[in-house]
Amino acid sequence: HPPGAAELEEMMGAEVLPRRTPSPAWLPPAKGEEGDFCLRSSDCAAGLCCARHFWSKICKPVLQEGQVCTRHRRKGSHGLEIFQRCQCAEGLACRLQREQGPADASRLHTCQRH
């Protein structure tokens, strides 16, 4: 080793470690970030929910005001969705957007203040 190589390796060592080191058993497991696999919304960090993405489930952002949301007419229908959306954030409701155009031009539901 040339002189100073050990110090250099020490400095570099921090960069080489994977970002997600497994947490010790006594610590609560890290909450899932956006895109991480999950089983339920409590597995995800704040502001995220666990929603279906293809045949697995991942943490996705909870919807904010003005974002498009999914209204389930029949309770059973959301089991078939391949790409689920999260529900609207606290204090927002999924409502039909009132457009100025023809009545049926856009049947978009968006998250709106109660």
Chain segment 34-81, per-residue pLDDT in tens: 999 999 999 999 999 999 999 999 999 999 999 999 876 666 555 567
pLDDT digits (tens, 9 = 90+) for 87-97: 999 999 999 98
**pTM for this one?**
0.62
Kindly report the number of other CB atoms within 10 A of residue 28's CB atom: 6
- All domains of the chain, ordered by start, with CATH? 36-98 (2.10.80.10)
**Per-residue CA distances from 101 to 70, 97, 98, 106, 107 (Å):** 21, 11, 9, 8, 11
How many Å apart are CA 114 and CA 108, to the nearest integer? 17
Answer yes or no: is pLDDT of 101 > 80: no
pLDDT in tens, 1-28: 556 656 655 555 555 555 565 555 565 6
User: CB neighbours (10 Å) of residue 62?
Assistant: 21
Residue 30 has pLDDT above 90, yes or no: no
Burial class from Cβ neighbours inside 10 Å (0-12, 13-18, 19+) for residue 100 reads exposed
